[in-house]
Every structure is written in structure tokens, then in C-alpha cells.
């Protein structure tokens, strides 16, 4: 997974990830190149939390928590559908699923600012 956020100072983030559950209740674990956990996000309806090292933050909104951690919202509900090859709308985002059969997904956020590009390569 790679995320690039276009602000005055462009920000980039890349990590391996493990995604489980559903848009309503699930977990996203971000891993560094050695396989160590960088962050663990868990959510259920009305509650989300992220743990980084010894620090845990909570929020009622997964979107708000992702905005705080990554610098932009990630449309988690749409992401689950996109990874299954189903094109669904996500406000401000456009997903290119043309290479999903090869395990590749690119989604771009055009509005609201900041613009962002999410690239995912799936491995087995």
C-alpha cells in the first residue's frame, strides 16, 4: 500500500498491510518492510481506535481517525468493494479497477483538498 497526499509539502507513506473484517467492523494492520507493526486500526460501528507503539487514540469515526493518522480520509467501505473488483462510488474518489485481476488498484482523491493517490498491490 502506498499513499501520496498532495499538500504544500507532499507526503508519502508506504507499508505492507493486512485488512480483515468489513466496513462495519474490522482491522487494518500497517507493517514496515521488516514485518513489524507500525499501526493497528480497529473499528466497529461508532468506535475506532489506532495503536502506534504504546500510544492508542480513539474516535467515534474511522474516517476522522484515518484523516488524523494518514493526512487524508480513506473510503474504507468503498475499499472493501474495490478490492473485490466491484466499482462503487466514494465521494471525491475515483478508483481504477482495470488491473484488479492482477492484484493492483489505484484510487485518486480529487476533492476535497488535499488530493491523494492510493496504490495497492496485493500479494498472496
pLDDT (tens digit per residue) in 14-60 = 889 999 999 899 999 989 888 899 889 999 999 999 998 889 999 99
| Alpha carbon distance 87, 94 (integer Å) | 9
Q: pTM value?
A: 0.84
Residue with cell 487524508: 72
The grid coordinates listed for 67 are 484523516
What residue ranges define each of the domains in the chain, with the CATH number in brackets? 2-121 (2.50.20.10)
CB of 120 closer than 8 Å to CB of 1:
yes
**pLDDT per residue as tens digits for the range 73-123:** 889 889 999 999 999 999 999 999 999 999 999 999 998 888 899 999 998
| Alpha carbon distance 93, 100 (integer Å) | 17
Amino acid at each position: 500500500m502506498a499513499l501520496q497526499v498532495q499538500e504544500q509539502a507532499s507526503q508519502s507513506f508506504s507499508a505492507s498491510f493486512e485488512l480483515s473484517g468489513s466496513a462495519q467492523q474490522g482491522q487494518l494492520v500497517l507493517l514496515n518492510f521488516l514485518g513489524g507493526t507500525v499501526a493497528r486500526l480497529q473499528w466497529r460501528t461508532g468506535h475506532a481506535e489506532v495503536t502506534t507503539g504504546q500510544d492508542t487514540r480513539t474516535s467515534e469515526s474511522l474516517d476522522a481517525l484515518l484523516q488524523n493518522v494518514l493526512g487524508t480520509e480513506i473510503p474504507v467501505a468503498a475499499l472493501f468493494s474495490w478490492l473485490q473488483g466491484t466499482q462503487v462510488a466514494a465521494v471525491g474518489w475515483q478508483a481504477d479497477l482495470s488491473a484488479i485481476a492482477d492484484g493492483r488498484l489505484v484510487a485518486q482523491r480529487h476533492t476535497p483538498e488535499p488530493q491523494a493517490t492510493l496504490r495497492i498491490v496485493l500479494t498472496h
